[in-house]
């Protein structure tokens, strides 16, 4: 179970939001950064209040302060630049504030009385602070007025006016001309506490013993804090009771231009409003925003890391409808790429916070399953139907001294079966490598489904042990990372390091491939995947392979940025995903050289020219022999089909026998999908196999809808759905011209034409609709009987009818459920059997809006 300290400890060293370096030498630890921001915007009233609350006597401090803050102004660290003239801006705030009257507070009067001996800066500061807290205060002064030791100062009259202004809203008794003769003086009888503010700290400005005036005022403020503690609990606070100042940090200002200091046109009068604002605008803020500036997601949400850590925990404790989650969309918008930690000056690992948030929410059932449903089903498929394990070697293949297993992951074989087979053959020849075709479990890791992830790791560990604990040769950088973190007992090496030690490293290939139709002389920009930052040997091996293949290379301005695929955040935040992919795509005009199949898929989806390193290393060789090329199919369904072809090829390679995959009843069904719709299906994570299954089961059970004359040529349009555990997929289609027979409904040589498809995560119930679209083998899809005693009905034109009951649909109340919440809404459904009709407009419109609202709660 997630604990608050688990997440907050990660961000404890983050200094975003802490005072800037210029605040540290200030005796008041004044928030200079916020003050200058208000001055920059011309908000002089707000700037003055902030200044007054910090320094007590702003008109005095702005005159006497020696401005130690300027020694730590980071603007002064920039070449040919000067620190900001902060004191002159403070003086401007005092002049330009329209209302300088002190704020009043309604506090019940306190019983303990305080006597202060000495009306110098320190004593007055203590007196004012205690009086503002409603303590009865009496000030004894031997002179005839406050600050009498400063009477010779040129601005004494202004100082005295400032004192009177600040004391105007509190009740303090001033007793002037009274010399106090020590602690036993009769005048001090009856006071609960007596403070002597005399001596050096109250000396006038001409005295050699006088400390800095602002130090005296600051000392009075600190004394008031300690005194209030003593009056309340009877003990003086220890040094350990005072929270230490945060550590001083300097923020990187790479590329910050020099800005000339603003000089007042009239130095005697000081800055005008415009001059003061201009000088304040030179402030760089000096608040660490490196992670927010470096990451599109963090920059969009602009939440402090400390707040993210707290909300990651509190979201697991939310209890709708009484409380809501605060971080849902942001939690699942993280690519989990580690870039934030890589750029953070103190190594804050926000990725870990978001991962813990996902696992914590999954444990408590507060996670939106729809964000990862497709990929978790894909993981299950790759771990069952798509999996293949061959630890041994065919006869006649020698084994090296060390044992090796090639682990291409779930994506390489799905991209190119022939390329995977060729790579495996090279590794088999060079290392005697076996093969394990499976998934590392990253979809479950990204979903926060820890139990599923650990189960997959356990399966891999079992295969590793069964193969004699070999070295794993990994093709994917993220596999490298997960193996290194969660399977540290397994020795690993990247595919590209292994290939670089074979003759593949010296093969001079032609870079002209179907994937990239550019001039061979044009250099490729190397796109290093995000997690490769932890594997420099992998990065260098890729460059070695490319160079030896005759490829010219350039480097991107930023390395190891996520292509957008990581974390499967596209479902959670498609708009942000588009921004991220576009930023990666446009980072360089040159075609990209990639070695992560997920990166290749992202760039293929966006039309960015690219080539996988294996496209080049295994391309047409110098001797004219033809090596495998990447297939053109980039759709999700094509990749699923490729994965099966890869399994078949590897089985033939290692065992010399054909692969006979298990067949579903709908596998032989033919469907035609327009290319544009295929692209849309990939965006919606819908497979052609999903549509086959939906249509087959609908035609078998008769549970579909008909729109007579619904096609442009006047034909019949049909609509059905496939209800899974999380996602419901809908299909609009036309049936083949020749109606299938009941004996072989799915084996017609003609195809169903797919018109449109969509999906939603919301579930619906009511009526007698089965929960999972069960198939009835005895039903005849060509027969749509009417209920007994039902009179013949002529279907209205342009109106959907239930194929099973042969009657028009009607608006009926339906219960919808999502994320543990239910509500009712009227939608079209059959008045007889109750099956529900959801249009694409409704699914993409209102239903999608409600789904997002539910997810964010």
Write the pLDDT tens digit of every residue in 222-271. Answer: 999 999 999 999 999 887 667 788 889 999 888 899 999 999 999 999 99
Determine the average pLDDT of the residues in 476-498. 97
Where does 531-602 show beta strands of DSSP type E?
A: 553-555, 592-594
User: Quick check: 548 and 506 in contact, CB under 8 A?
Assistant: yes
Determine what percent of the chain is predicted with pLDDT higher than 70: 88
Q: How confident is the model at residue 807 (pLDDT cuts 50, 70, 90)?
A: very high
pLDDT digits (tens, 9 = 90+) for 613-659: 998 888 643 333 333 344 445 789 999 999 999 999 999 999 999 99
Side-chain-side CA neighbours of residue 313 (13 Å): 16
Task: Give CA 429 to chain center in angstroms.
Answer: 43
Q: What is the pLDDT of residue 771?
A: 33
Determine the average pLDDT of the residues in 431-438. 94
SS3 472: strand
Strands 807-808 and 728-734: unpaired
Determine the average pLDDT of the residues in 769-792. 36
Q: What is the pLDDT of residue 177?
A: 94
Q: How confident is the model at residue 780 (pLDDT cuts 50, 70, 90)?
A: very low
**60 closest CA partner among 213, 268, 169:** 213
Q: Which DSSP state fits 589?
A: S
pLDDT digits (tens, 9 = 90+) for 345-387: 999 999 999 999 999 999 988 899 999 999 999 999 999 999 9
User: Quick check: 123 and 221 in contact, CB under 8 A?
Assistant: no
pLDDT of residue 53 exceeding 90: yes
Strands 137-141 and 172-176: parallel
Rounded CA separation 545/506 (Å): 8
Q: Which DSSP state fits 559?
A: -
Q: Which sign, positive or negative, has the C-alpha torsion 298, 302, 308, 311?
A: negative
pLDDT of residue 509 exceeding 50: no
Where does 428-487 show beta strands of DSSP type E?
A: 434-437, 471-474
Q: What is the pLDDT of residue 790?
A: 40
Rounded CA separation 118/202 (Å): 8
User: Quick check: 55 and 61 in contact, CB under 8 A?
Assistant: yes
Q: What radius of gyration, in Å, describes the C-alpha atoms of the chain?
A: 37
Rounded CA separation 616/40 (Å): 56
Determine the average pLDDT of the residues in 794-814. 86
pLDDT of residue 516 exceeding 80: no
Stated pTM of the model: 0.84
pLDDT digits (tens, 9 = 90+) for 108-133: 999 999 999 999 999 999 999 999 99
pLDDT of residue 494 exceeding 90: yes
User: Quick check: 141 and 148 in contact, CB under 8 A?
Assistant: yes
**190: exposed, middle or buried (C-beta count within 10 Å: 0-12, 13-18, 19+)?**
exposed
Q: Residue 594 phi/psi, 5° resolution?
A: -115, 160
User: Quick check: 593 and 496 in contact, CB under 8 A?
Assistant: no
Cis ω for the linkage preceding 321 (within 30 of 0): yes
Q: Residue 802 phi/psi, 5° resolution?
A: -80, 120
Taking CA atoms, 658 is separated from 432, 646, 651, in Å, by 22, 12, 7
Q: How confident is the model at residue 64 (pLDDT cuts 50, 70, 90)?
A: very high
pLDDT digits (tens, 9 = 90+) for 713-761: 888 999 999 999 999 999 999 998 655 444 445 444 579 999 999 999 9
Rounded CA separation 225/230 (Å): 9
Rounded CA separation 457/462 (Å): 9
Determine the average pLDDT of the residues in 595-613. 91
Q: What is the pLDDT of residue 244?
A: 80
Strands 810-818 and 763-765: antiparallel
Q: Residue 115 phi/psi, 5° resolution?
A: -115, 135
Q: How confident is the model at residue 38 (pLDDT cuts 50, 70, 90)?
A: very high
Rounded CA separation 273/559 (Å): 45
Q: Which two tokens mark 760?
A: 């939603």
Q: Which DSSP state fits 493?
A: E
**318 closest CA partner among 352, 353, 355, 357:** 357
pLDDT of residue 92 exceeding 90: yes
Mean pLDDT estimate for the chain = 88
Range with the poorest average pLDDT among 310-324, 594-608, 622-636, 707-721 = 622-636
Number of Cβ atoms within 10 Å of the Cβ of 823: 12
Q: Which DSSP state fits 771?
A: S
SS3 513: strand
pLDDT of residue 765 exceeding 90: no
Rounded CA separation 457/474 (Å): 15
Q: Which sign, positive or negative, has the C-alpha torsion 87, 90, 92, 95?
A: negative
pLDDT of residue 508 exceeding 70: no
Q: Which two tokens mark 223?
A: 């004394």
Q: How confident is the model at residue 330 (pLDDT cuts 50, 70, 90)?
A: very high
Tell me the β-bridge partners of 593. Answer: 526, 611
Task: Give CA 724 to chain center in angstroms.
Answer: 28
pLDDT digits (tens, 9 = 90+) for 161-214: 999 999 999 999 999 999 999 999 999 999 999 999 986 555 555 543 445 789
Q: How confident is the model at residue 80 (pLDDT cuts 50, 70, 90)?
A: confident
**499 closest CA partner among 544, 531, 469, 467:** 544
SS3 264: coil
| Kind plus residue range of the DSSP H or E element containing 720 | strand 717-723
| Kind plus residue range of the DSSP H or E element containing 755 | strand 752-760
3-state SS string for 373-420: HHHHHHHHHHHCCCCEEECCCCCCCCCCCCCEEEECHHHHHHHCHHHH
Helices (H), 636-783: 636-655, 675-684, 688-701
Tokens 């009067």 correspond to: 109
Task: Give CA 789 to chain center in angstroms.
Answer: 60
User: Quick check: 29 and 272 in contact, CB under 8 A?
Assistant: no
Tell me the β-bridge partners of 389. Answer: 436
SS3 811: strand
SS3 524: strand
């Amino acid at each position: 179970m997630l604990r608050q300290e688990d997440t907050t400890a990660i961000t404890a060293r983050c200094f975003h939001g802490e005072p800037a370096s210029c605040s540290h030498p200030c005796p008041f630890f004044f928030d200079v950064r916020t003050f200058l921001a208000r001055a920059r915007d011309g908000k002089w009233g707000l700037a003055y209040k902030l200044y007054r609350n910090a320094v007590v006597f702003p008109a005095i401090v702005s005159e006497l302060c020696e401005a130690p803050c300027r020694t730590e102004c980071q603007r002064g660290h920039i070449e040919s630049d000067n620190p900001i003239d902060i004191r002159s801006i403070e003086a401007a705030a005092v002049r330009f504030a329209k209302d300088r009257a002190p704020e009043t507070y309604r506090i019940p009067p306190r019983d303990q009385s305080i006597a202060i001996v000495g009306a110098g800066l320190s004593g007055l500061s203590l007196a004012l602070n205690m009086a503002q807290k409603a303590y009865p205060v009496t000030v004894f002064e031997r002179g005839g007025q406050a600050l009498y030791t400063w009477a010779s100062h040129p601005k004494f009259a202004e100082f005295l006016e400032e004192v009177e202004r600040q004391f105007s809203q509190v009740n303090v008794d001033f007793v002037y001309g009274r010399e106090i003769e020590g602690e036993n003086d009769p005048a001090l009888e009856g006071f609960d506490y007596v403070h002597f503010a005399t001596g050096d700290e109250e000396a006038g400005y001409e005295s050699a013993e006088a400390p800095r005036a602002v130090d005296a005022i600051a000392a009075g403020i600190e004394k008031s804090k300690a005194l209030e503690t003593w009056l309340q609990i009877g003990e003086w606070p220890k040094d350990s009771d005072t929270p230490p100042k945060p550590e001083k940090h300097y923020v990187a200002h790479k590329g910050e231009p020099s800005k000339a200091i603003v000089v007042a046109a009239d130095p005697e009068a000081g800055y005008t409003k415009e001059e003061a604002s201009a000088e304040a605008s030179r402030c760089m803020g000096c608040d660490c925003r490196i992670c927010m500036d470096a990451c599109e997601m963090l920059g969009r949400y602009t939440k402090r890391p400390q707040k993210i850590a707290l909300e990651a925990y509190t979201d697991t404790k939310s209890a709708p409808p009484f409380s809501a989650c605060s971080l849902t969309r942001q939690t699942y918008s993280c690519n989990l790429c580690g870039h934030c930690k890589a750029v953070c000056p103190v190594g804050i690992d926000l990725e870990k916070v978001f991962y813990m948030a996902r696992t914590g929410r999954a444990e408590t059932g507060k996670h939106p399953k729809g964000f990862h449903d497709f990929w978790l089903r894909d993981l299950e498929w790759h771990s069952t139907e798509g999996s293949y394990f061959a630890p041994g070697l065919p006869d006649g293949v020698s084994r090296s001294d060390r044992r090796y297993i090639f682990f291409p992951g779930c994506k390489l074989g799905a991209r190119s079966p022939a390329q995977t087979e060729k790579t495996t053959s090279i590794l088999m020849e060079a290392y005697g490598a076996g093969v394990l075709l499976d998934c590392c479990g990253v979809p479950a890791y990204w979903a926060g489904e820890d139990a599923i992830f650990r189960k997959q790791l356990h399966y891999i560990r079992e295969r590793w042990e069964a193969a004699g604990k070999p070295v794993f040769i990994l093709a994917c950088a993220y596999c490298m990372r997960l193996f290194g973190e969660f399977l540290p007992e397994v020795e690993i090496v990247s595919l590209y390091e292994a290939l670089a030690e074979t003759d593949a490293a010296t093969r001079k290939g032609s870079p002209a491939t179907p994937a990239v139709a550019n001039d061979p002389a044009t250099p490729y920009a190397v796109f290093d995947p995000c997690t490769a930052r932890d594997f420099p040997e992998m990065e260098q091996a890729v460059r070695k392979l490319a160079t030896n293949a005759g490829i010219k290379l350039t480097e991107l301005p930023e390395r190891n940025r996520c292509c957008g695929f990581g974390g499967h955040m596209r479902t959670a935040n498609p708009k942000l995903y588009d921004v991220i992919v576009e930023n990666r795509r446009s980072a360089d005009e040159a075609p990209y050289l990639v070695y992560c199949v997920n990166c290749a898929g992202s760039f293929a989806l966006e039309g960015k020219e690219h080539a996988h390193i294996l496209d080049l290393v295994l391309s047409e060789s110098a001797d004219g022999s033809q090596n495998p090329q990447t297939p053109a199919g980039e759709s999700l369904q094509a990749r699923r089909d490729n994965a099966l072809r890869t399994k078949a090829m590897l089985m033939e390679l290692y065992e010399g026998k054909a692969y006979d995959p298990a067949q579903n009843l709908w596998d032989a069904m033919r469907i035609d999908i327009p290319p544009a719709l295929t692209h849309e299906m990939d965006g919606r994570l819908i497979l052609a196999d999903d549509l086959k299954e939906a249509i087959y089961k609908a035609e078998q059970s008769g549970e579909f809808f008909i729109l007579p004359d619904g096609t442009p040529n006047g034909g019949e349009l049909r609509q059905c759905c496939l209800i899974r555990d999380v996602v419901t997929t809908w299909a609009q289609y036309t049936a083949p011209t020749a109606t299938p027979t009941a004996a072989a409904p799915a084996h017609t040589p003609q195809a169903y034409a797919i018109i449109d498809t969509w999906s939603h995560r919301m579930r619906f119930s009511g009526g007698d609709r089965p929960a999972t679209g069960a198939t009835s083998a005895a039903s005849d899809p060509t027969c749509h009987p009417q209920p007994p005693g039902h009179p013949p009905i002529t279907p209205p034109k342009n109106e959907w009818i239930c194929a099973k009951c042969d009657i028009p649909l009607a608006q009926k109340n339906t219960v919808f459920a999502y994320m543990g919440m239910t509500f009712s809404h009227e939608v079209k459904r059959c008045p007889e059997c109750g099956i529900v009709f959801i249009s694409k407009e409704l699914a993409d419109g209102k239903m999608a809006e409600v789904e997002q609202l539910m997810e964010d709660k």
